[in-house]
Amino acid sequence: MFVIGLWGIDRGGMWRDEAVTFQVARRSLPQIWHLLHSVDAVHGLYYLLMHPVLAVRPGEVALRLPSLCAAAVTASLVAALGVRLARPRVGLWAGLLYAVTPVVGHFAQEGRAYALVSAGVAGATFLLVRAAGSGGWPSGTGVCVGCGAVGACRAVPRAPIGVLRSCVGCGRVGACRAVSRVPGWGWGVYGGVVGVTVLLHEFAVLVLLAHAGTLVLARVSRDVWWGWGRAVAGVVLVVVPLAVVSHGQAGQVAWLRAPDGAAVEALLRSFAGPTPLVLGPYLLLIVLALRGPLARRGAFSLPAVALPLLLVPPATLLAVSRHWPLYDDRYVLYALAGAPLLAAAGAERLAGAAARLYGRRTPRHVHPYAVTCLGVCGVALALVAQLPVLRADRDPARRPDDLAAVSAAAARRMSHGDPVLFLPALARRAAVAYPKGFRGTADIALREPGPVSGTLYGRETSPGELRRRLDGLDRVWVVAEPYALRPGWYPPVPAEQVKLALLEGEFVPRAEYVRKASVMRLYVRRSVAAGPAGVTRSPGSPPAPPRPARP
């Protein structure tokens, strides 16, 4: 996982969300705290964690390195779950399969909190299995390393008293081990990990529903429910204040739309594989893992843990988003950990069926590690099949925008002292993330920069002052979001309305440079414009359509 994540981690450009992390985490702690009162409270803990990281060496690699480390930890925890719930080779296959999934590699190179949230959820799931699987059973109870059943072991005749050797569930002899008791603070550690994970992103709270589903399928004892309930109560005390504050900042997710069938299909492909060559076998292995009962009473089998983790958080958020749009696939990235576990369990079931076809568990002429190596080869084939997807993801053009390219274009086209107008104000993010390209230019609408004003992109001047500043200019560069220059867009903010009115009424465009998700235009005042009011566009740029009259 670490090797795949290091490949192309310095791709030469940040996109808008990464740029927010970069500029906020580099502020002082009082300035970060000031910002969280008005925006981005849901990412507050992540910004605080990134503050010392970027204080050491600010840069794109340092920005993404915590996500890469978190992805590697998650792959390890997925493997550990596979070992604990099944057997070592299942854990090996699951961990490797998680590592080669393209969407995991994508977020391992994102300067956002989603990879850290995935690590927290995987760690909490492991702690749940450990605490519930041992803390709620009498001393001396055994757990089967073959089927994962807890309390299904019995002593072999003539064996020493209390030695747990054979499993009542699967019948294996020598597959049982004694359960080590978890100290009383085991549930406290579980609750603490979930609480920190929820503070990294509040939608991680949906993992509690998945864990509740696991406990229902395992039919655990009352003591286990009591311990888990106390941990959940602590998490609720943590998440409620965050939910109250973030609800007041709900405008940040106003761009989300109700999900449809295409969103579900996209999530399926991102979790199980974007190419048909991987998607088909992946789904087949998951189906094989789910054949038969999910769990016996008190048994934390692999399907009973992985299936709720895979299905419950995405299904819940999708259902809620039909009425209150909140869904985005990155918000439930942590649920992906269930998919490789199920696929690995399906591969183990397939290997067991093949062994039984020969009439014995392991034929004498087959090396004991042959099946393990065969599974590793299967994961390697999945990696090769998805290599073009992984390679393409390293291209900055695959992100919604490339702020480094916008800054570089500004450096080539703007001169010292040129006035710049950002439309709307959030288009300033290129200048905030890469100020070198805008060095020497004059931001004519800015009144207070972001760190001082407690905002992401600064506080702009009043409409009257903005009009006076523009009245004294014969030319101005406009850096705009594409939608801001399309007919029909009418901003609710008065300052943005003044920008549009003055540009359309008193200026004409003379040159244009179009970059993905960003437009840069040079406007010249009509009274001093020489020649016809045409537009010199960069190759491939669409013509600027006329705007309809404003009411």
DSSP structure string for 335-398: GGGHHHHHHHHHHHHHHHHHHHHTTSSS-TTS-TTHHHHHHHHHHHHHHHHTHHHHHHHTSGGG
Instruction: Give the pLDDT confidence score for residue 549 in this predicted structure.
Output: 42
Instruction: Give the pLDDT confidence score for residue 479 in this predicted structure.
Output: 94
Q: Give kind and range of the element (H or E) at residue 176.
A: strand 176-178
- Using the Cα atoms of residue 179, residue 184, residue 188 and residue 189 in order, give the sign of their dihedral: negative
Residue 405: helix, strand or coil by DSSP? helix
424 preceded by cis ω (within 30°)?
yes
Q: Which amino acid appears at position 132 of this protein?
A: A
Residue whose structure tokens are 């800015």: 446
Q: Which amino acid appears at position 288 of this protein?
A: L
Q: Give kind and range of the element (H or E) at residue 499.
A: helix 494-506
- Partners of 521 in the beta sheet? 478, 512
Distance from C-alpha of 94 to C-alpha of 485, rounded to nearest angstrom: 48
Residue whose structure tokens are 């909490």: 124
Domain coordinates in residue numbering, the chain? 2-139+181-397, 140-180, 403-537
- Partners of 167 in the beta sheet? 153
Q: Give kind and range of the element (H or E) at residue 310.
A: helix 302-321
Contact call for residues 467 and 511 (beta carbons, < 8 A) = no
Buried b / exposed e along 267-281 (16+ C-beta atoms within 10 A): bbbbbbbbeeebbeb
Residue whose structure tokens are 């705290």: 33
Angle, CA 412 vertex, CA 410 and CA 415 arms, to 5°? 75
Q: Which amino acid appears at position 346 of this protein?
A: G
What token pair was written down for 65? 């390195």
Distance from C-alpha of 84 to C-alpha of 101, rounded to nearest angstrom: 22
Contact call for residues 302 and 78 (beta carbons, < 8 A) = no
Residue whose structure tokens are 């958020």: 317
Q: Where are the beta strands (DSSP E) in 27-136?
A: none
Contact call for residues 173 and 159 (beta carbons, < 8 A) = no
Distance from C-alpha of 300 to C-alpha of 150, rounded to nearest angstrom: 7
Cα separations in angstroms, 523 against 352, 485, 487, 542: 71, 13, 17, 17
Angle, CA 177 vertex, CA 174 and CA 179 arms, to 5°? 165
Measuring CA to CA, which residue among 277, 260, 279 is closest to residue 269? Answer: 279
Angle, CA 495 vertex, CA 24 and CA 472 arms, to 5°? 105
Instruction: Give the pLDDT confidence score for residue 505 in this predicted structure.
Output: 86
Contact call for residues 271 and 339 (beta carbons, < 8 A) = yes
List, for the chain, all residue ranges whose pLDDT scores fall below the cut of 70: 133-184, 293-299, 358-368, 528-551
Residue whose structure tokens are 């009274």: 527
Distance from C-alpha of 393 to C-alpha of 230, rounded to nearest angstrom: 42
Instruction: Give the pLDDT confidence score for residue 489 in this predicted structure.
Output: 84
Instruction: Give the pLDDT confidence score for residue 137 in this predicted structure.
Output: 39
Instruction: Give the pLDDT confidence score for residue 139 in this predicted structure.
Output: 38
Instruction: Give the pLDDT confidence score for residue 381 in this predicted structure.
Output: 95
Cα separations in angstroms, 352 against 96, 159, 172, 359: 20, 28, 13, 11
Distance from C-alpha of 507 to C-alpha of 523, rounded to nearest angstrom: 6
- Using the Cα atoms of residue 436, residue 442, residue 445 and residue 447 in order, give the sign of their dihedral: positive
Q: Where are the beta strands (DSSP E) in 382-481?
A: 419-423, 442-443, 446-448, 459-460, 475-480
Measuring CA to CA, which residue among 457, 461, 464, 513 is closest to residue 485? Answer: 513
